Amino acid sequence: MVERSPEQLDPSLADRVSDALDHDDRGELLDAIEDAHPADVADVLEQIKPGAREDFVRLAADDFPAEVLPELEEGLRDDIVTLVDPEYLAEAVGELESDDAVYLVENLDEDLRREVLDALPTADRIGIERSLEYPEDSAGRIMQRDVVAVPPFWNVGQTIDSLRARADLPETFYEIIVIDPSYKPIGTIPLSRIMASRRPVMIEAIMERDFRALTVEDPPEDIAYAFNQYHIVSAPVLDGDGRLAGVITIDDALEVLGEETEEDMKLLAGVGDEELTDSVWEITRQRLPWLAVNLLTAILASLVIAQFDAVIESIVALAILMTIVASMGGNAGTQTLTVAVRALATKDLTTTNALRIVTREGLVGFFNGMVFAVLMGGLTWAWYGDPALGAVLGVAMVINMLVAALAGILIPIGLEKAGADPALASAVFVTTVTDVVGFMAFLGLAALVLL
């Protein structure tokens, strides 16, 4: 496939594919996707109707680009692989980079997976089976098994000659890993340094001894953190004995980082692991539990309001103003929550600085509350001609925005300490706190001061 920059993407690709499918024209379909990037073809498959996808697979047949399969959303990929022949699928797995091959095979049902693996060459089959033994989404699953490794007693000339002679050279790599006799990494060398060095120069003399390595058990958040924190383009992956098991490159790390960010966004909203290609029923099923939780929290807030029904009946203005207090608290809490979840994900928020950050966010909430207390207190006084009502609204605003800021940071910290994902629908809990505290503070103060 031809690598192209975003500005070179053909905006008519989807139209050409749709036209070919409408006319059942295999030649036009293959011509349309021949020079397209696999990711663009995957986008087209995700955008067209399910029936058209079946036509696409049928027309493309054995010419369906194998590189497209790893680019598809997981749910759609699972549907597509059921439409292709197992023989084609085994051939496609053999053509892919080892990390993409594992990604494709890991979610196949047991019978189809066994059939595909049995059709692979022995070395490829053993490598994929070994990768599948590692935890899901771990570095062992994500890494490429095909690595470029040389001993320290070679020179640059021997290294270059060896690379040129290899038939199984990885399609993309950025560094050469230097290993000892037990196959344990002792250094790395950027390709640029190899090209800039003369042939007689010894590998040991130009290798970098200080390098970052991952282990096969490392979770995706640790992978994303390592690449982002240390600005590396590739990292060797070590097995339990410290031997070289594979390598993760920047393109894989960027994909992991994107998936982690997407997961956090979805968890914050409580929408689950849904995709655009999911059916109405699948999306409904995933969203329903958190909507049910939200309903329970809304009922809790309503029960708080019910305790002050007599106060609201006496002063109708309270019913109008109390939503302002809750809304401002909810927004303030969401702001703090977003910053806190991101800081926890990037490991910028730790035990060392947690107290300082919590204190800072509390002060920010307090001062923002003071600003809006003066603003809304004055407007309420001018609107209703009642300074006491304005004062009650102002004090409630300060209390709720302070509590909102603290809840926005303490809830995700608490979830992480409990071993849960800090993004796990934290927004639902923060909104509950701000609603309950906002209504309680405003209506409670009103009952004490105005009646």
Write the pLDDT tens digit of every residue in 34-90.
Answer: 888 888 998 888 888 888 888 898 888 888 888 888 888 888 888 888 888 878 888
CATH class name, domain 280-449: mainly alpha
The predicted model gives 358-370 an average pLDDT of 93
* pLDDT reported for residue 6: 42
CA-closest candidate to residue 264, choices 51, 389, 422: 422
* pLDDT reported for residue 206: 95
Question: In the block, which residue shows the tokens 């009922």?
Answer: 299
- For 138-180, the pLDDT digits (tens) are 999 989 988 999 999 999 999 999 999 988 888 888 999 999 9
* pLDDT reported for residue 303: 86
The predicted model gives 311-336 an average pLDDT of 86
Cα separation, 267 vs 427, in Å, equals 9
* pLDDT reported for residue 269: 64
Question: In the block, which residue shows the tokens 């050469």?
Answer: 176
CATH fold of 149-269? CBS-domain (3.10.580)
The lowest-confidence range among 59-73, 101-115, 205-219, 270-284 is: 270-284
Question: In the block, which residue shows the tokens 């909102």?
Answer: 404
Q: Return the structure tokens found at 254.
A: 């960027």
Domain ranges for the chain:
6-134, 149-269, 280-449
* pLDDT reported for residue 209: 93
- For 283-304, the pLDDT digits (tens) are 777 777 777 877 887 888 888 8
Length of the chain: 451
* pLDDT reported for residue 151: 96
For 306, phi and psi rounded to 5 degrees? Answer: -60, -25
SS3 of residue 273 by DSSP: coil
- For 371-404, the pLDDT digits (tens) are 999 999 999 999 888 899 999 999 999 999 999 9
Q: Beta strand pairing status for 149-150 and 234-238?
A: unpaired
With a cut of 50, say whether residue 96 has pLDDT above it: yes
Q: Return the structure tokens found at 19.
A: 């036209």
Mean pLDDT of all residues belonging to the chain: 86
| Per-residue three-class SS string for 345-362 | HCCCCCCCCHHHHHHHHH
* pLDDT reported for residue 267: 67
* pLDDT reported for residue 308: 84
- Cα distances from 144 to residues 164, 186, 415, in angstroms, run 20, 19, 33
pLDDT confidence bin for 257, thresholds 50/70/90: confident
With a cut of 60, say whether residue 10 has pLDDT above it: no
pLDDT confidence bin for 8, thresholds 50/70/90: very low
219: amino acid identity, one letter:
P
CA-closest candidate to residue 259, choices 217, 284, 223: 223
* pLDDT reported for residue 407: 92
- Whether the predicted model's global pTM rises above the 0.95 cut: no
Q: Return the structure tokens found at 373.
A: 């207390």
Q: Return the structure tokens found at 271.
A: 């929408």
The domains spanning 6-134 and 149-269 adopt the same CATH topology: no
pLDDT confidence bin for 4, thresholds 50/70/90: very low
- For 421-447, the pLDDT digits (tens) are 777 667 788 888 898 998 899 999 988
With a cut of 80, say whether residue 282 has pLDDT above it: no
What percent of the chain lies above the pLDDT cut of 90? 31
- Superfamily assignment of 6-134 in CATH? MgtE N-terminal domain-like (1.25.60.10)
Any alpha helices (H) in 231-353, and if so which ranges?
250-269, 280-306, 309-314, 317-345
Is the model more confident about 342 or about 41? Answer: 41
